[in-house]
Amino acid sequence: MPLSIGLFSNHQARAQGLEIFEGDKLVLTNGVSTIEGTSGGGIATWATIAGRETENGIGVSSHVTIVELPDYGWQSHGFAIGVANRIELSYARQNLDTRNVGEALGLGKGYTLNQDVYGAKLRLFGDLVYGATMVPQVSVGVEHKRNLDGPVAFAVGAGDDEGTDFTLSASKLLLEHSVLVSTTARFTNANQNGLLGFGNVNGKGYSLQFEGSVAYQLSRRAVLGAEYRSKPDNLGLGEDDWLDLFGAYAVTDNVTVTAAYADLGSVATFEDQRGAFLSAQLAF
């Protein structure tokens, strides 16, 4: 039975110099899974490529993430495939449980908003770890988001129930200082990451947003850091920027757990949405 997601058999892969699920990236340098399924931090995309594969391999990762907030419950799960540490393909399903808020908004108690996110990322140049210190790994990405609750999105004033984000990321691990820095420019029209649709009925749409991350490696397996992500406010509901303080630990070379304090600000007019972010990733 092929173990290659339909691309190669193990025998064919070895014959072509490829290694499937036998990667040897430095621990944690493939990042963790973001809420959108791409590799990076929890809320910010990085220039990293998913999986533990190196330049002659094919890797894969999967994740489950929950965010517990005062008025909402967030859950996402998905997977990503990395090819030759050059190309990343990803998918994530996002679910937002509105709990009692759903009843207040007229949706019904416990109504859950759902969205599919399909991503692709290409490393353009540079290396996260190796090479000149001032030359980061740079990647370009695209994330197509399909909101599964279009009538709700339109009811709050969204202009569309589908949208596509475009990202340009630069990330570098400064080994001598045990510090990782990353920045991403995101061109997006998503409302609350797309769970409330895209743009608005008055034609307001795409804007350039910023994501930044910094992390300090306490040991080979443990990292502490912070992230920031700016957000548009197309619907005029007071959508706030996001930030988190996180810790990630590689239980094994293949299993990473992440815990964070996340501040998502106002979500659909309900303010002070701060709580716990928990995620587990399996990567090969």
User: Would you say residue 92 has pLDDT above 90?
Assistant: yes
DSSP letter at 13 equals H
pTM: 0.90
Rg, C-alpha atoms of the chain: 19
Range scoring the smallest mean pLDDT among 104-113, 122-131, 261-270: 104-113
Domain boundaries, the chain: 10-283
User: Would you say residue 12 has pLDDT above 50?
Assistant: no
Encoded tokens for 162: 């589908």
Q: How many Cβ atoms are within 10 Å of 94's Cβ, its own excluded?
A: 24
User: Would you say residue 7 has pLDDT above 60?
Assistant: no
Confidence of residue 18 (pLDDT cuts 50, 70, 90): low
Taking the CA atoms of 78, 186, 278 and 255 in sequence, report the sign of the dihedral they define: positive
In degrees and rounded to multiples of 5, residue 175 shows phi and psi of -60, -40
Cβ-contact 23, 41 below 8 angstroms:
no
Position with higher pLDDT, 18 vs 147: 147
Rounded Cα distance between 219 and 61, Å, is 22
pLDDT at 17: 53
Rounded Cα distance between 2 and 165, Å, is 33
User: Would you say residue 32 has pLDDT above 50?
Assistant: yes
pLDDT at 23: 75
- Could you tell me which of 95, 148, 97, 140 has the C-alpha nearest to residue 119? 140
Q: For 152-192, what is each residue's pLDDT tens digit?
A: 999 999 999 999 999 999 999 999 999 999 999 999 999 99
Position with higher pLDDT, 266 vs 14: 266
Rounded Cα distance between 47 and 104, Å, is 40
- The amino acid present at 181, given as its one-letter code, is V
Q: What is the rounded average pLDDT of the residues 64-75?
A: 96
User: Would you say residue 11 has pLDDT above 50?
Assistant: no
Q: For 184-235, what is each residue's pLDDT tens digit?
A: 999 999 999 999 999 999 988 899 999 999 999 999 999 999 999 999 999 9
For 10-283, give the CATH class.
Answer: mainly beta
Residues of the chain with pLDDT > 70, as a percent, come to 93
User: Would you say residue 243 has pLDDT above 50?
Assistant: yes
pLDDT at 106: 79
Rounded Cα distance between 163 and 174, Å, is 35
Residues of the chain with pLDDT > 90, as a percent, come to 84
